[in-house]
Amino acid sequence: MTTTLYVPRDAAALSVDADAVAVRIAQEAAARGIDVRIVRNGSRGLFWLEPLVEVATSAGRVAYGPVATRDVASLFDAGFLSGGSHALALGVTDDIAYLKSQDRLTYARIGVIDPLDADDYAAHGGWTGLANAAALAPADIVAAVTESGLRGRGGAAFPAGIKWKTCADAVSEQKYIVCNADEGDSGTYADRLTLEGDPFCLIEGMAIAALAVGATEGYVYIRSEYPHAFRTFSQAIDIATQAGWLGDDVAGSGRAFRLHARLGAGAYICGEETSLLESLEGRRGQVRVKPPLPAIEGLFGKPTVINNVVTLASVPIVLARGAAYYRDYGVGRSRGTLPLQLAGNVKYAGLVEKAFGLTLRELLYDYGGGSASGRPIRAVQIGGPLGAYLPASKFDTVIDYEAFAAAGGMLGHGGVVAFDDTVDMAAQARFALEFCAVESCGKCTPCRIGATRGVEVIDRIRAGVDRARNETLLRDLADTMIHGSLCALGGMAPFPVLSALDHFAEDFGARQ
Amino acid sequence: MPPATQPAMILKEPGLAPDARRAVLDAIEPRRALPGALLPILHAVQDALGYVPRDAVPLIANALNLSRADVHGVVSFYHYFRSEPCGRHIVQICRAESCQAMGAVALEAHAKATLGVDWHETTRDGAVTLEPVYCLGNCALSPAVMIDGDLHGRVTPQSFDTLVAATRSGA
Ligand SMILES: Cc1cc2nc3c(=O)[nH]c(=O)nc-3n(C[C@H](O)[C@H](O)[C@H](O)COP(=O)(O)O)c2cc1C
Ligand code: SF4
Ligand code: FES
């Protein structure tokens, strides 16, 4: 009898030696004359448990982790292939509290299936949304996405259905679907998890978008920092094309959609949609002035839907289960689920896909388990490097786009980075502007020059030079950047700075 | 339109060794017809040679009907592309916030001190080039480091030394 084991092939799992663990398990099994099949799945997103090894038993999949190569022999001794008890045993995977309490919709298959096995994907509900869409009129696909309440998960939270409708209504021989997989925000990895762990889900979402707006070509722009994701996703495109989910006749619809993966080149600004389009066209990634909207004049001047990975990967379930199913999750105008990504100084960092509506505190403490260092969490940055730093007094803010805006923050792509009380918030403020200066596309002065000047002013403040006057100068500079920048890099980089000044003034030295 | 002198120039590109020239042409040929071919070509050149030699620019410009200034402008815009050769191995340390919260600043200082280099510099033995990177998507296992495209998580100064030693010895 062959026992099936799962050892993740996700880059994060590999970063803590999952490959070596897989090899060790195969060797040990061979030495003991035991027949095993090792599936290389994606990650469940419970990273403190990686490498998380699962065994298919009569009681379901049971988990062990974090497994090091030196643990492998003792796992065999303990009879882990039939779920035997061991210090690393975690019980039935689906019953692990962190996982069980989540609303895994977009990430339902992550860590469950072999990411490059299209049949495994189908066996877990894959391709149903696309098959349904192929039988619908394009306008009905757009209507389903609109009714689901799905908003863009890349940062700006713009309703996906409205964007699709604009593109669908544009008249053109050629239209494009572009997926923004630039995932530049620190503290985020949801896109990477999908690209590596459930790539067919993104492919399915893009094919549905193509049928909805009448696009025949698609591009996925993957950042160069993700070479592993690029390789996996490129393979997935080939497999899906061979299987007829992409190509000249998508899902038997009689319509064509060809998909291409492209690699970025280490520029944060290329996550901004118009800069990304410039980059895809082979130019410097400089931001375009809007209008025209990409939905009307996008890639190579043609109508283009550009959406984030998570947005597009959330579409298959909307088409498979219906708009109402998705919309019933969430609160207020934030419908469905958000894959939150816990990072930084927390004990249990990982992917938490939940319906909108839990509080930041629940996320940080019930899921995150508090800080990894055991010290108090002092500040949390949400929404990437342009997001405000929130102090403990704001931890009861509800995870909802509007509630976050009201609290002076933004959810962005859902990255949550915690810092303990050893953090120097003046240093964090300085970094925000240093980053802006490094990554500015150079098109407008407030961003290009302002960020560099801002760093200098913060240096003077930190050196104790004329605190009051320099703080005024810094706030003026921030104001100029906020109001005079063409895009959100220059326009939002001041937010972490101002939030640090407002909530953590003591870190900037005494006011004279 | 490229300058009229360009075709003659490519016949004898002074700075490119024959092997490198062949590598550049091999990178160009299968990709020149792609829509937006420039980035895929630059990636292929850098994959083959480790950098994009200045003398490759006219070849690429000519193939894509761009000016040299256009191509140079693109190479210089993107942090990932380099115009100079680098060490045999590339060590990228994440400088972004999640890694900062878990000790990346100390790791960075340790790396610079033990390697004896600053960002973008190469060790004297030519083995290692040190580069900053802003997030590797491994923020749940911060601090993160990438060595020659392989990701490492929860890197401490001690494990950094072990990783670099293993890289140097070709392990
Ligand atoms: C500086 C900057 C960086 C951005 N980076 C990303 C990114 O990495 N990924 C992303 O999906 N959107 C990013 N965005 C947002 C995009 O411009 C755009 O809103 C998004 O791709 C639209 O997709 P969505 O509606 O599905 O979110 C960025 C915006 C700015 C201003
Ligand atoms: S704000 Fe900065 S990044 Fe955005 S367009 Fe202006 S210079 Fe470019
Ligand atoms: S912030 Fe370092 S890997 Fe994301």
Domain check: are A167 and A306 in the same one?
yes
Residue of B nearest to A231 (CA): B149
Based on the fold, state whether residues B71 and B135 are members of the same structural domain.
no
Q: Is A365 helix (H, G, I), strand (E, B) or coil?
A: helix
Residues from B contacting A (CB-CB < 8 Å) are: 35-40, 42-43, 64, 70, 73-74, 77-81, 96-102, 133-142, 144, 146, 149-154
Q: Is the CB of A344 under 6 A from ligand 2?
A: no
Residue A54 lies in a domain: yes
* Percent of chain A whose predicted confidence (pLDDT) is above 70: 100
A2-43: pLDDT as tens digits: 999 999 999 999 999 999 999 999 999 999 999 999 999 999
Any chain B CB within 8 A of the CB of A379? no
pLDDT digits (tens, 9 = 90+) for B67-109: 999 999 999 999 999 999 999 999 999 999 999 999 999 999 9
Q: Least CB-CB distance to B133: which of A225, A283, A345?
A: A225
In a shared domain, residues A145 and A196: yes
Q: Do A318 and A235 fall within a single domain?
A: yes
Report CB contact under 8 Å: B135, A284. Answer: no
- The domain total for chain A is 4
Instruction: Tell me the CA distances in angstroms from A93 to A6, A71, A90, one per residue in order.
Output: 11, 19, 7
pLDDT (mean) for A75-83:
97
Checking if the pLDDT of A329 tops 50, the result is: yes
Q: How far is CA A157 from the centre of its chain?
A: 14
- Residue A304's nearest CA partner among A237, A213, A220 is A213
pLDDT of residue B5: 45
Output the pLDDT for position B170. 83
Give how far A135 is from chain B: nearest CA, Å.
Answer: 31
Contact A349 B141 (CB under 8 A): yes
Q: What does the pLDDT average to over A335-347? A: 98
| Distance of alpha carbon B45 from alpha carbon B164, whole angstroms | 26
Does ligand 3 come within 6 angstroms of the Cβ of B100? no
* Ligand 2 pocket, residue A378 CB under 6 Å: no
Report the separation in Å between the CA atom of A162 and the middle of ligand 1, taken as the mean of its atom positions: 16
B82 is a domain residue:
no
| Rounded Cα distance, B155 and A511, in Å | 38
Residue A53 has pLDDT above 80, yes or no: yes
> Where is the domain boundary, B21, B50, B77?
B77
Is residue B48 within 8 Å of residue B87, measured between CB atoms? no
Confidence of residue B14 (pLDDT cuts 50, 70, 90): low
- Residue A428's nearest CA partner among A404, A400, A462 is A462
Residue A451 C-alpha to ligand 2 middle, in angstroms?
A: 11
Residues B2-22 have a mean pLDDT of: 65
Q: For the residues A477-492, what does the mean pLDDT come to?
A: 97
* Ligand 2 pocket check for A440: Cβ under 6 Å: yes
The DSSP call for residue A367 is: I
CB A512 within 8 A of CB A472: no
Is B47 part of a structural domain of the chain?
yes
Mean pLDDT computed over A174-187: 98
Cβ within 8 Å of B, A 343-362:
343-345, 349-351
Pairing assessment for the beta strands A36-39 and A3-6 based on DSSP bridges:
parallel
Atom of ligand 3 nearest to the CA of A344: 1
CA distances from A138 to A179, A263, A306, A317 (A): 19, 30, 17, 17
Which of these three, A49, A66, A96, is where a domain ends? A96
User: Does the pLDDT at position A56 exceed 80?
Assistant: yes
C-alpha A287 – ligand 2 centre gap (Å):
7
A306, A179: one domain:
yes
CB of A431 within 6 A of ligand 3: the answer is: no
Average pLDDT estimate for A423-436: 98
Examine the predicted complex and report whether its ipTM is higher than 0.95.
yes
> CA A205, CA A200: separation in Å to the nearest integer?
8
Average pLDDT, chain A: 97
CA A254, distance to chain mean position in Å, is 33
Give the domain-ending residue among A388, A414, A440.
Answer: A414
In the predicted model, is pLDDT for residue B9 greater than 50?
Answer: no
**Tokens read off for A187:** 């503290």
**Chain B residues near residue A184 by CB distance under 8 angstroms:** 134-135
Instruction: Tell me which residue in A47, A282, A423 faces B37 most closely, judged by beta carbons.
Output: A282
Q: What is the pTM of this model?
A: 0.97
Sheet holding A304-308, edge to edge: A258-263, A217-222, A176-181, A304-308
A248: Cβ contacts below 8 Å, ≥ 6 apart: A256
Q: Is any Cβ of chain B less than 8 angstroms from the Cβ of A304?
A: no
Beta strands A337-344; A351-355: pairing state: antiparallel
Domain final residue pick, A391, A414, A437: A414
- How far apart, in whole angstroms, are the C-alpha atoms of residue A64 and residue A72? 10
Size of interface A-B (CB pairs under 8 A): 157
For residue B68, give every residue at least 6 positions away whose Cβ sits within 8 Å of its Cβ, in sequence order, or none.
B2, B57, B58, B61
**Rounded Cα gap, residues A338 and A414, in angstroms:** 7
Task: Tell me the C-alpha distance between B161 and A209, whole Å.
Answer: 47
Residue position matching structure tokens 């003792």: A74
Mean pLDDT of the region A120-133: 98
**Could you tell me if residue B58 is inside a domain?**
yes
Annotated binding residues of B, as ranges? Answer: 94, 99, 135, 139
The answer, yes or no, to whether residue B12 has pLDDT greater than 90, is no
pLDDT tens, A409-429? 999 999 999 999 999 999 999
Distance A283 CA to ligand 2 centre (A): 16
Q: Does position A136 have pLDDT exceeding 80, yes or no? A: yes
Residue of B nearest to A264 (CA): B39
Mean pLDDT of A210-233: 98
Task: Identify all chain A residues contacting B73, using CB atoms and an 8 Å cutoff.
Answer: 284
Rounded to 10 degrees, what is the CA torsion of A184, A187, A192, A194?
A: -120
In sign, the C-alpha dihedral spanning A406, A412, A417, A422 is negative
Residue type, B32: R
A182 touches chain B (CB under 8 A): no
The whole domain housing A70 covers: 3-96
- Residue B7 pLDDT class (50, 70, 90 cuts): very low
- As a whole number of angstroms, the distance between CA A194 and CA A319 comes to 18
Do A286 and A278 form a contact (C-beta atoms < 8 A)? yes
Distance A156 CA to ligand 1 centre (A): 7
- Res B3: pLDDT: 46
Q: How much is the mean pLDDT over chain B?
A: 93
Where residue B157 sits, what CATH number does that domain have? 3.40.30.10
Q: The domain containing residue B156 runs over which residues?
A: 89-169
Same domain, A443 and A498: yes
For the segment A331-343, the average pLDDT, to the nearest whole number, is 97
Q: Output the domain CATH number for residue A38.
A: 3.40.30.10
A251 token code pair: 């899902």
